[in-house]
Structure 1
């Protein structure tokens, strides 16, 4: 989806994907050091970034939709935390070499041509020894119809994900079914790819 399309989606009343943290992030956040510096990519309306901020982390959230980031800032204020919003097209704009302790991306679905650039952004943002946490829908999700893009072109191949984490210490890799109830766009049993990796 283009920036304007995401702006239109996030302009809907309420939070499209809800305000509760993604289950994978909730389960795996324990791997992060205390008071970690965390970058959340394709963060949308900010549910994961805000959760991580409530856990005491210093969080920057990247998304191409300013509307989504504005809603995230509103959610953060209600939770009594701060999250730094950065509007950027992560498939075209480099975030640069940063010193983050972790990078997190949940359901950051972009065309296959942009996926390598996006993943490079994630890895570049993390310092050696830092962590990468990713959950996305796999191409098999098309058979489930419970959320995510209705196009294989916008879904992920597990072989690609394994290639992107080559050279890292892979702490967790999962390719299979998971139940997600997140707003009205992720509704039930789906098929995901998860990875937790430590950058070498």
Structure 2
């Protein structure tokens, strides 16, 4: 049976009203999502922390690239790629918060302390495989402590989340380097972590990091 013209018009009006309602709901959801992604407060100290950690993760990556070319050890081959991932995570926050940054070529650092570390690490790491592995452990040792200090000094949950993930990765890297050192008949003494912190990490299991 054919519907009357008035019935068809009524149906059309109902459909148009339904579509309008759905669009309104969609806009509400978009507004809510936008609200959820509003940037948090980032202090000058937080900005400096991000810029420093970008270069400290670069220090790890660049050193491991060099040492991998020297010794072709699995630790350096694998972990140098992880350090690039760490750099990417910090870089994403810098972009999110519109912070200007610059990544220098391999082996070059804006921070003079990190430049001095790199220059010394590649010299010492060229001496022996054991030295190279100990340098890897030293970098992760330093990284864990610096990340923890920055985590304690901020209330920004974006930064805390990323830095906690990086710290988790560094604990795994430290275990890997120490395993290689001990398998080679040597030992590593923590340079930055306390003995208690160090042995807690070393005696722990491999972690799954977000």
Q: Which has the higher helix share?
A: 2
* Higher share in strand: 1
Q: TM-score, normalised by structure 1?
A: 0.30
TM-score, structure 2 length as denominator? 0.29
